Amino acid sequence: MSERDVPIRVLVAKPGLDGHDRGAKVVVKALRDAGMEVIYTGLHQNVDQIVATAIQEDVDVIGLSILN
């Protein structure tokens, strides 16, 4: 955890049609193990869904896993 009083909030999202999320789940686990609070949106998200979730969850960081 950083010097902040609260953990860094990270949104991990998988935009597009890629159906593989093992790598994203590995990153999610590593971030959680490092003390961050992680929200994983799951597969097949569009930009509007990702932005809405980021705003709703008040995240500090957005990580995207994109096939191409």
Domains and CATH numbers, the chain: 9-64 (3.40.50.280)
Instruction: Give the per-residue pLDDT at 3.
Output: 65
Please determine, for residue 57, whether its predicted confidence score (pLDDT) is greater than 80.
Answer: yes
Residues near 66 by beta carbon (within 8 Å), at least 6 away in sequence = 14, 15, 16, 18
This prediction has a pTM of 0.87
| Residue from 62, 59, 9 nearest 1 by CA | 9
Please determine, for residue 1, whether its predicted confidence score (pLDDT) is greater than 80.
Answer: no
- For residues 19 and 57, the model is more confident at 57
Please determine, for residue 2, whether its predicted confidence score (pLDDT) is greater than 50.
Answer: no
Q: How far is the C-alpha of 13 from the C-alpha of 1, rounded, in Å?
A: 22
